[in-house]
């Protein structure tokens, strides 16, 4: 099963999206957007930037857990990962975004 983007509205009324792998695991999540069109543009940006390794910012949180951000060409963060148990698990997550995002369908849950 291929990955998909879920476009949804949070409790505060903001639009968000998350990229799920074929197994249903969330592999990337967005910030909140005021407008649905902005969230849709964010999805398009993830699709175009996901294959490019230089767009991934590999980080570690204060507790030592690896994670990553996917950035657009202008440096803005367009998606954030979960926290991983190891750097190698983070690399597996990045590989999953690279393979799932470009062709992922959008499941619009806002209608």
Please identify every stretch of the chain with a pLDDT value under 50, giving residue numbers as ranges.
none
Separation between Cα atoms, residue 78 and residue 29, nearest integer Å:
8
User: Per-residue pLDDT tens for 54-66?
Assistant: 999 999 999 999 9
What does the pLDDT read at residue 111? 75
DSSP string, 28-59: EE---BSSHHHHHHHHHHHHHHTT-GGGEEEE
Q: What is the pTM of this model?
A: 0.94
Q: Which residues pair with 5 in a beta bridge?
A: 19, 106
């Amino acid at each position: 099963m291929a990955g998909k983007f879920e476009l949804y509205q949070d409790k505060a009324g903001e639009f968000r999206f998350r990229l799920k792998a074929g197994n249903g695991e969330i592999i990337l999540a967005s910030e909140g957007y005021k407008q649905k069109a902005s969230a849709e543009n964010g999805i398009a940006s993830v699709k175009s930037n996901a294959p490019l390794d230089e767009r991934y910012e590999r980080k570690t949180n204060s507790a030592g857990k690896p994670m990553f951000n996917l950035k657009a060409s202008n440096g803005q963060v367009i998606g954030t990962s979960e926290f991983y148990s190891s750097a190698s698990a983070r690399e597996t997550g990045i590989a999953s975004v690279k393979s799932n995002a470009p062709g992922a369908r959008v499941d619009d849950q806002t209608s």
